[in-house]
Every structure is written in structure tokens, then in C-alpha cells.
Amino acid sequence: MKKRWSKIIVGFLLLFCLSTSFAYAFNKVSETENNSEKNKIIYLTFDDGPSYNTNNILDTLKEYDVKATFFVIGNQIKGKEEILKRIKDEGHSIGLHTYTHNFKKIYSNSQVFIDEMLKCQEEVYKVTGIKSNIIRFPGGSAKRLDKEFKEELNSRGFKIYDWNIDSGDGINPKTTVNKLFKRATESNIKSKPRVLLMHCDNVQKNTSKALPDIIKLYKDKGYEFKTINNETPEYHFPLKK
């Protein structure tokens, strides 16, 4: 009789341990899945506007109820003030992309670069009332940003944002819609969240054509679309040694 009860007790203990182990494993899997879901964030970013082509981008974003970030060039604003206002009014974020986008000039020394950002900041403020401090280096910060320069920019209140996915529209404006889509949605990108580089000047006409399918794919995969703002952690390429 004692042996029988001993077996029953041992059986219950084993069942309890297995149940506990399974519950623990299930919770760990759920936790991993939840963390994975939290990391499914994408920032759509558009450089080199405002332009008349920017309206096509804005139309698509409005249709799909998605917000994006526009890094604008200061000397492109004149005559397109209404487009810049529309970017703001429709809930998108506005960043700075220098005043002239002239590589030879803006990268001649750090002070010229800062002055270009300040001038662009002033132009954006005059039209929108927003004093933006989020910036993007034309061509990216790689091999241009070192620790000292970063500290100088941060001391001026600027925050730097590069990207980890390049649609390729800036390299070749004639890139086909299909190629733009494939590059913008490639699945082997390990960096999270995703920061997608696109352009919205008058040259990149195919970007606006590829955008609906890009948005639909990321929506289908459960991504959350966010804008870059003052609270967004900086994201830039490795600093120059």
C-alpha cells in the first residue's frame, strides 16, 4: 500500500515538474515573440525635398495612413513653401539636410557644415514654426563624422540619423520600380529598427511608384511606422577613427 502511494506521489511530482517546465518554456517563447514584435519598427525617410514630386509621396502616405520623415534642403524651400507646410500639417517629421547639398562646400570644414545646418534650420522655421534639430549628412556620415565632430554637433543640439536600408534611388534615379521595391524590402537586414533611405526630389520619379507596395509589404509583416523626432535615439554609421 505504501509503495502504491509512493508511486502516485512520485507521479504527481513528475507531472508538476513537467507542467512547470512547459509553462516556463512557453513563457520564454512568448516573451521572445513579444520582443520580436516590439522590434518590428520602420522609419520611412525621404531626402532632398521639398519638390513637386514630394506631393506624390505625401498622397501615398496619406492614402495608407503612414507617417514619414523628410530631410529637406534649405535652398529648395523657396517656391515650395506650401509643400513644406503640407509635410508638417499631415503629421510628418521634418529634418535638416544642409542648405545647399553642395558636397565640396559643406564638407570643406566643420564650421561650414554647421552653418549650412543652421541656415536650413532657419528656413524651415520661417515656413513651419518648427525648429528642427534632427539632421542627416548628404551621402551619409561615414568617414565624415568623428568623435570630436559629433560632440560639437550634439552641443549645438543636433541629433544625427543615417540609415540601414538604401532603396538605391539616390544612386541611380532610373532604377526600376521592381528593383527599388526589392532593395527597400530586403529581408536579410539584421539591424532593428529599420531606417529606410529614399528620395523625393524631382529626379526620382519611380520612388513614388514603388512606395505603395513597399508600405503594403511592411504592413502585412506587422511593422509599425514611426517618425524620427527629438526623442528618437541617434542612429549613425560608425565614427571615423
Peptide bond into 212 cis (omega under 30): no
Give a yes or no: residue 98 inside a domain: yes
Give a yes or no: residue 236 inside a domain: no
On whether both 102 and 77 belong to a single domain, the answer is yes
On whether both 107 and 183 belong to a single domain, the answer is yes
Task: Report the domain count for the chain.
Answer: 2
On whether both 30 and 45 belong to a single domain, the answer is no
Handedness of CA 90, 93, 99, 105 (dihedral sign): negative
The pLDDT tens digits of the residues spanning 24-50 come to 333 333 333 334 556 799 999 999 999
The pLDDT tens digits of the residues spanning 104-129 come to 999 999 999 999 999 999 999 999 99
Query: What does the alpha-carbon distance between residue 4 and residue 90 come to, in Å, rounded to a whole number?
Result: 74
Which residue reads 541656415 in cell numbers? 119
Give a yes or no: residue 26 inside a domain: yes
Say which amino acid occupies 155: S
Does residue 55 contact residue 83 with C-beta atoms inside 8 Å?
A: yes
On whether both 111 and 130 belong to a single domain, the answer is yes
**pTM of the model as a whole:** 0.85
Does residue 97 contact residue 122 with C-beta atoms inside 8 Å?
A: no
On whether both 33 and 48 belong to a single domain, the answer is no
Q: Return the active site residues.
A: 47, 199
Q: What is the domain range of residue 27? A: 1-38
pLDDT lower than 70: segments of the chain: 1-38
pLDDT of residue 32: 34
On whether both 14 and 34 belong to a single domain, the answer is yes
